[in-house]
Structure 1
Amino acid sequence: MKTSIVRPHLLRPRHRLLLAVRPRNRPLSTSRPVSSSQPQGKAFNSSLALDSASNLAEASILNRSEVTNVLTAAQKGALSPIQQYQKLVQTGALRSDEHQTRIIAQLQHFHDQLITYSPPLIPDSSTQGSIISRLFSREPQTPAIPPEQVPKGLYLYGDVGTGKTMLMDLFYQTLPTSITRKRRVHFHAFMIDVHKRVHAAKAAMGYKGGDPILPVARDLANEAYVLCFDEFQVTDIADAMILRRLLENLMNHGVVCVITSNRHPDDLYKNGIQRSSFIPAIELLKTRFEVTDLDSGTDYRRIPRVLSHVYYHPLTSENRAEVDKIFTSITSDDKSDPVITNRPLMTWGRTLHVPESTSKVAKFTFADLCGNPLSAADYLEVTKQFPTVFVLDVPKMGMDKKDMARRFITFIDACYESKTKLFVTSEVPIYQVFSDESAEGNKGMSDHMRSVMDDLGLPSDIVGSSAMFTGEEEVFAFARACSRLVQMGSKEWAESAGQM
């Protein structure tokens, strides 16, 4: 059955922002038992259960903990996706919602299929006849298992704030303990890993060359036959060129996937360079996955919450002194872990020096982070090593700082994915650092940007607007970064982030 590519959320009436961005319900490493005596409030779709008469920020933290606790308990109690969802509803952490119930039913069906699914053995390259002929063959790989015997994957797409990540995490946490070859990963981090593997495979093949995708796909399939990708998107031609053959070969090895994305497959890599070469990957997603939208009708990012004082503007001596005081306070607790300067951090075979840091806290200037040609891999490594990061002297960015703005957006994405606690000093309110004068009063804002910002709950009178981002992917990345900065400044984020 052909899946409609109409995005229902675009048909919704516009709403006014309440300075709220819903955090993704991500399982934490620790949990505490849920007390039945804890107050129960109203439940909002995959959202926080809140009572309008109670303190919203405290209720947000309380109920998010309940979601986390039930998710963690699911692993111990072997709950199925439906049982897990029902338990969240019963505790008041979620409200039963017909759209999410539809997705849960699909996840349950997929879960049941995996219980009886026997993935094919992934033979080691040393046991498969001629290694040379196998590695250097350019012929399509014969499927190790007929496609009809492999469960179809799930591709969940929808607007930011509809609960895609929560549902995928719910599914992943309820996988049977017998499934040990599994992996849940942010798609950006996955592609960085893939590029590293492809580079190593090419080096191993030497000057004669060959197809590095085959051994990379084989190794990935050997590590996990259930893959969960969060925030699937294609913005880079290098990724686009790899993905079709990588996905095809993973599926030939019997790998099954759950994917979340903001876009229908037909909208991936739209207007990208050589997009025609990516079309086969789109067709693969549409034929080997159940493609379904998630539009719950409830935007739980709009729930009000108290903002924490982690962003300081303007760039005054008083604000700099206040942030320095916070840095000193945080880093002085452990005398065995003093602040050192120019700590070396290895990434992709080169060294990045951290100006000031302990083993858990790092401090950079904006020029350190974004004035140099750093990549997503560098930022992921920084946020992986340091759960708390200070960034000083962030300027308002216009057309003259477009490259820096792009890097800062990439850095924000890395912080968000790693649940980093962020402290910032900036020239203007942090949500407005991407605005420029040419776009003041919406005069320079395209209809597409206005639509995307409104869909994300970010009218320009709050975050400003920018004419320097024009492409569809650029506009979305800009609006999403503003959305995340709002969330990362919330009291809830400040109290739960930065945990090792």
Structure 2
Amino acid sequence: MLTSEPPYNSTLSVEQTQASERDDAIVLGKTHQRQAESPSQAAALTPLQQYQRLVDSSALRADDHQTRIIQKLQRLHDDLVTYEPPQIDTSSSSLSILSRLFSRGTTHSVSVPPEQVPKGLYLYGDVGTGKTMLMDLFYNTLPSHIKRKRRVHFHSFMIDVHKRIHAAKKDMGYRGGDPIEPVARDLAAEAYVLCFDEFQVTDIADAMILRQLFERLLNYGVVCVITSNRHPDELYKNGIQRTSFVPCIELLKERFEVTDLDSGTDYRRIPRTLSHVYYDPLTAENRAEIEKIWHAYTHGDPADPPVRGRKLTTWGRTISVPESTSKVAKFRFDDLCGRPMSAADYLEITKNFGTIFVLDVPRMGLTEKDLARRFITFIDACYDNKVKLLVTSEVPIFKVFADDPSKSAHEISAHMRSVMDDLGLSSDAVSATSMFTGEEEVFAFARCCSRLVQMGSKEWAETAGMR
């Protein structure tokens, strides 16, 4: 799909740069000479205009499929220019306890006829097809008068929703009630244009919430753009009580224009320059090198020296950061993945630090599946928050998800082989025999490998970590 200059991809066939140039880029944080456009500059253009401008500057590669997708984004953009969302009454959010007792069972929702709300977009495609870039292009060119808007990774959105539902239940007290209604109302009041990146449903709790939440958001006149790796029919496939989620699937297909992002061009296979941010094996020389880089990052500002045991708090939990400045943190693998940590913990860490060092990443096999899952969740959080990552590992970073090293490539499952082929990952480049077998696990593994490649590129190393 869309790609920046040089184009993003997920191939492991990379061209090494000169050592001095790449190390300067990592340590000194060199950036490209051309100036990035601010959101306000982009917002003055429509999606089609911005797309054409990027094509003319050779930042994007033009093709017919891209144009078809941009035209859909342009259609929604034009609809939003004249769209007047309904007024949302949030006064009921602060009703007194006495008022709630007498009004239990009533709702304060509105219901906007579907024909009066612009039809949303549901864009789906494999890893590396440009879903995130498309969404960012659309979001950054929204009409300037739209202030109530939100662009969020779906994982972060659901964490926020769970927090709001918990607060709503607490506010309702023992009398109870429907906690999703006030949550939907508040979300609609905050933003009537919602952009969700990487929509997926993996557990029954989210499935049951989403069935009601989307219906209420759409009734409030909220317009959504969603990216996903799955067609709606494939969401929550084989999940517990999936029949209860089917109405949500039907709602998505009815109220959204569902579009496949497969252009036939795999931009992930276009070679990119690999930067030196991953160090293996765990030798004294590599440890000394990573310490030298750590010192360069953390000793340039006397007012912000590295401290030990910095505390972060999320969901009432305390996360201890072994060593950090206000912008850079250093963890050992066991600190991050060797103890119970949630996606919310990793999101909190990556929101606070633009650059993260992770030391002593081991090879992980079948007996370390929990460690592998946590590491994948951590990498997803780093990617979503544009974190610059530096790693030391026992084996090349792309081979840490290894099962039994003695097993040969012919034991890779057909599904895993298909995913690896799609990503341009060979069995020699990535150790992935039978460690991950479930459909969601295989996708999570493939996505992590793809992201590690991108996060190891010179382009990422030079531009990530800016806070």
Common fold: TM-score over 0.5 = yes
Instruction: Look up the equivalent residue of 1:221 and give its one-letter code.
Output: A
Instruction: Look up the equivalent residue of 1:114 and give its one-letter code.
Output: L
1:106 aligns with 2:78: no
> 1:15 aligns to what?
none
> 2:433 aligns to what?
466
Residues 3 and 60, structure 2, Cα contact 8 Å, conserved in 1: no
Residues 67 and 93, structure 1, Cα contact 8 Å, conserved in 2: no
1:202 aligns with 2:169: yes
Cα distance change, pair 215–135 in 1 and its aligned pair in 2 (3 A): farther
> 1:222 aligns to what?
189
Cα distance change, pair 296–370 in 1 and its aligned pair in 2 (3 A): same
Residues 31 and 463, structure 2, Cα contact 8 Å, conserved in 1: no
Give the alignment of 1:144-159 within 5 angstroms: 144-159=111-126
Give the alignment of 1:391-402 within 5 angstroms: 391-402=358-369
Cα distance change, pair 351–135 in 1 and its aligned pair in 2 (3 A): farther
> 2:228 aligns to what?
261
1:73 aligns with 2:41: yes
Query: Per-residue displacement from partner, 1:377-429 (whole Å, max 9, x unpaired)?
Result: 00011011011111111110011110110000000000011111111111110
Query: Per-residue displacement from partner, 1:204-262 (whole Å, max 9, x unpaired)?
Result: 11122221100000000000000011111111222111111010010010000011111
The 2-side partners of 1:383 and 1:168 are apart by: 21
Residues 229 and 257, structure 1, Cα contact 8 Å, conserved in 2: yes
Residues 125 and 131, structure 1, Cα contact 8 Å, conserved in 2: no
The 1-side partners of 2:102 and 2:190 are apart by: 20
Instruction: Look up the equivalent residue of 2:42 and give its one-letter code.
Output: A
1:123 aligns with 2:89: yes
Aligned with 1:424: secondary structure?
strand
> 1:16 aligns to what?
none
With 163-172 and 334-343 compared, the bigger mean Cα shift is at 163-172
Aligned with 1:440: secondary structure?
coil
> 2:61 aligns to what?
95
Residues 128 and 450, structure 2, Cα contact 8 Å, conserved in 1: no
Pick aligned residue for 2:100 from 109, 122, 132: 132
The 2-side partners of 1:464 and 1:339 are apart by: 36
Instruction: Look up the equivalent residue of 1:82 and give its one-letter code.
Output: L
> 1:390 aligns to what?
357
Instruction: Look up the equivalent residue of 2:414 and give its one-letter code.
Output: D
Cα distance change, pair 136–327 in 1 and its aligned pair in 2 (3 A): farther
1:182 aligns with 2:182: no
Q: What root-mean-square deviation, in Å, do the aligned CA atoms of Structure 1 and Structure 2 show? A: 2.8
Give the deviation of 1:290 after TM superposition: 0.5
With 103-112 and 377-386 compared, the bigger mean Cα shift is at 103-112
Pick aligned residue for 2:48 from 74, 82, 88: 82
With 203-212 and 247-256 compared, the bigger mean Cα shift is at 203-212
With 456-465 and 126-135 compared, the bigger mean Cα shift is at 126-135
With 459-468 and 215-224 compared, the bigger mean Cα shift is at 459-468
Residues 2 and 60, structure 2, Cα contact 8 Å, conserved in 1: no
Instruction: Look up the equivalent residue of 1:374 and give its one-letter code.
Output: M
Cα distance change, pair 445–244 in 1 and its aligned pair in 2 (3 A): same
> 1:283 aligns to what?
250
Cα distance change, pair 79–437 in 1 and its aligned pair in 2 (3 A): same
Instruction: Look up the equivalent residue of 1:409 and give its one-letter code.
Output: I
Cα distance change, pair 391–455 in 1 and its aligned pair in 2 (3 A): same
The 2-side partners of 1:316 and 1:136 are apart by: 65
Residues 387 and 499, structure 1, Cα contact 8 Å, conserved in 2: yes
With 277-286 and 465-474 compared, the bigger mean Cα shift is at 465-474
> 1:18 aligns to what?
none
The 2-side partners of 1:95 and 1:287 are apart by: 32
Instruction: Look up the equivalent residue of 2:92 and give its one-letter code.
Output: S
Give the deviation of 1:136 after TM superposition: 4.6
Cα distance change, pair 266–292 in 1 and its aligned pair in 2 (3 A): same
1:304 aligns with 2:255: no
Residues 395 and 428, structure 1, Cα contact 8 Å, conserved in 2: yes
Cα distance change, pair 317–212 in 1 and its aligned pair in 2 (3 A): same
Tell me how many residue pairs correspond in the alignment.
Answer: 450
Give the deviation of 1:137 after TM superposition: 3.0
Instruction: Look up the equivalent residue of 1:496 and give its one-letter code.
Output: T
The 1-side partners of 2:2 and 2:48 are apart by: 22
Give the deviation of 1:125 after TM superposition: 3.6
Query: Per-residue displacement from partner, 1:22-69 (whole Å, max 9, x unpaired)?
Result: 9976xxxxxxxxxxxxxxx9x97x98xxxxxxx9999xx999986953
Give the deviation of 1:71 after TM superposition: 6.4
> 1:235 aligns to what?
202
Instruction: Look up the equivalent residue of 2:62 and give its one-letter code.
Output: S
The 2-side partners of 1:123 and 1:66 are apart by: 45
Where structure 2 has 5 or more consecutive residues not aligned to the other structure, the ranges are 10-16, 23-28
TM-score normalised by structure 1 residue count: 0.84
Where structure 1 has 5 or more consecutive residues not aligned to the other structure, the ranges are 1-21, 26-40, 48-54
Aligned with 2:336: secondary structure?
helix
> 1:11 aligns to what?
none
Specify which structure has the bigger relative contact order, considering alpha-carbon pairs within 8 angstroms and separated by 6 or more residues: 2
Cα distance change, pair 178–294 in 1 and its aligned pair in 2 (3 A): same
> 2:347 aligns to what?
380
The 2-side partners of 1:211 and 1:436 are apart by: 46
The 2-side partners of 1:164 and 1:307 are apart by: 23
Aligned with 1:257: secondary structure?
strand
Cα distance change, pair 67–106 in 1 and its aligned pair in 2 (3 A): farther
The 1-side partners of 2:311 and 2:93 are apart by: 41
- Percent identity among equivalent residues? 68
Residues 80 and 174, structure 1, Cα contact 8 Å, conserved in 2: yes
Give the deviation of 1:74 after TM superposition: 1.8
Instruction: Look up the equivalent residue of 1:73 and give its one-letter code.
Output: Q
TM-score normalised by structure 2 residue count: 0.90
Aligned with 1:231: secondary structure?
strand
> 2:12 aligns to what?
none
> 1:50 aligns to what?
none
> 2:442 aligns to what?
475
Pick aligned residue for 1:337 from 304, 307, 320: 304
The 1-side partners of 2:358 and 2:197 are apart by: 27
Aligned with 1:434: secondary structure?
coil
Query: Per-residue displacement from partner, 1:172-224 (whole Å, max 9, x unpaired)?
Result: 11111111000111111111111111111111111222211000000000000
> 2:13 aligns to what?
none
